Chain A
Amino acid sequence: AQSVTQPDIHITVSEGASLELRCNYSYGATPYLFWYVQSPGQGLQLLLKYFSGDTLVQGIKGFEAEFKRSQSSFNLRKPSVHWSDAAEYFCAVGAAKLIFGAGTRLAVHP
């Protein structure tokens, strides 16, 4: 079955600390992979995407993600978190139809 797992429901980090949000997927074919961010009361904004090629992809707001086929993972990273990064983050996999993970809510301590 196709699925996306985000193991961490909530994560709290201090401002300036590094961040890694985990995403594992199960998908029959070579997947398209996405990370979206949702601020409270807002829609989803695309952070970055992986279709093919270089497995380390750069996104907006200083985020990056690495596709590891052997681990079926697409973890999101940021070297130094800002207070404005507090939001909910969703990993998604698919092609014409996307399957979303349940999300990870990030809190940032000053």
Chain B
Amino acid sequence: NAGVTQTPKFRVLKTGQSMTLLCAQDMNHEYMYWYRQDPGMGLRLIHYSVGEGTTAKGEVPDGYNVSRLKKQNFLLGLESAAPSQTSVYFCASSSTSGSSLVEQYFGPGTRLTVT
């Protein structure tokens, strides 16, 4: 199993450009998440999904959109990139076992720079 994979690993954008980050998981997990990591701030949740076709806002959703058309994929879009979106982006997935939540599994990250 590859676990959680992210594409691309690195990207440089100019202000105003758009792009899509792809996250894929092969663990049949229901839940998927997008975080951003900035120095001294830990990970902050951007958007998440509790199942195919459903998405919800996290802590810092502004400037981002997401889609979950297939259970195994979770896309993060930036319609008009801004320098404040320079960050490392992590995708994660998780599932449940009975009534218990199983831990989140993380991808390797995408380093995005917006100039």
Q: Which residues of A contact B (CB under 8 A)?
A: 4, 9, 32, 34, 36, 41-46, 49, 51, 90, 95-98, 100-103
Contacts and interface: CB of A to CB of B under 8 A. Distances in A.
B48 interface: yes
B20 to A, nearest CB: 20
B90 A43 contact: yes
A13 B54 CA distance: 45
Interface residues of B, number: 25
Given A42-B108, A43-B108, A44-B90, A100 B42 contact: yes
B62 interface: no
Nearest to A49: B103
A41 B90 CA distance: 12
A42 B6 CA distance: 12
Contacts of B108: 42-43
Interface in B34-52: 35, 40-45, 48, 50
Contact of A103 (B4, B42, B92): B42
